[in-house]
Structure 1
């Protein structure tokens, strides 16, 4: 079974003899949240976009309240409102500056990372890193991580649209289940899953062994 590297999507069917392991990213491999940090950082550098964002906040709040916290379009609307009017070349430079800023503040959870590295020692094991943060940001933040080229990544997707950026896929909640099924097929048979969030419960449901990562990076057995 091949790896899904950054920038590629491979639709695979897993050999039943292979072990499938799931790791969340934000709050699991490290303490901070990449995407929310990016949103606040961008807003600080695009203060004029506040005049566009503020009138949209009631719509965003209503969307999340009515359709649920994992709904894509309200967060996509926030992203669009703070990137509208900025050329893509400028936004790419902003990404580079944000990643440098974020990496200086990143707090890794060493016990969880060591658990991931332990799985990668086995040739019959595939580790899936599935996250709600956008793929381009994750790839930049973890570009120097020794394990990153060896895991398979599923992440949210940003795209240029309507004069700014939008989320074309938000990889949270049930969407994580759908995205993994697209790649490895049914039935999902995951040996172990690690996450800090209840939003990952739909995917953890398919894990034989479920582990919750605490705010301090400790690993707790959920069973």
Structure 2
């Protein structure tokens, strides 16, 4: 079982991912430069947070044209796993692997904080190590993290039970008071129809080491590793 972490010019969370997958979990991990095209050796591709190409034009707009992205699209079509975190989520919407868009935060401010997140379901590989409706705490750091989709797209996402994470109170309440960026329906993370592509704005890799404040995010990577090494 092998992780691959995409490295774009401007990425700043790629090493954070490898610190978790390779450093903490001792899982084989390869850093993949954005101009590479052969990712056939990888089981899970992670598109990390950061500022790919300096976020020029808009977040993820240029990264979608990197040579590696066509390979990632094929990787996903084969049923293999793709995880996009923060800027990675933005890239996944730009390239069409996930619906909707990430737009400027409500209030137009950059937010760097810890957010309470409700895990909506735990029957997918991403959340097997959580309980359904469990509330976890993950860091967020974004200026364009407000999830938006038109009415028909939003209905398809909700009807398809494709929202995996929502911003919530510590007791699991979903309302505008517990929505840090104004995301529609408090959406913090969604999956595609097959469930093998996940995009989320919070940073699980920044909550994977108790020495830096929390381990709620580690369970995601542990669940992936366990599921894919025992499959």
TM-score normalized with structure 2 length: 0.25
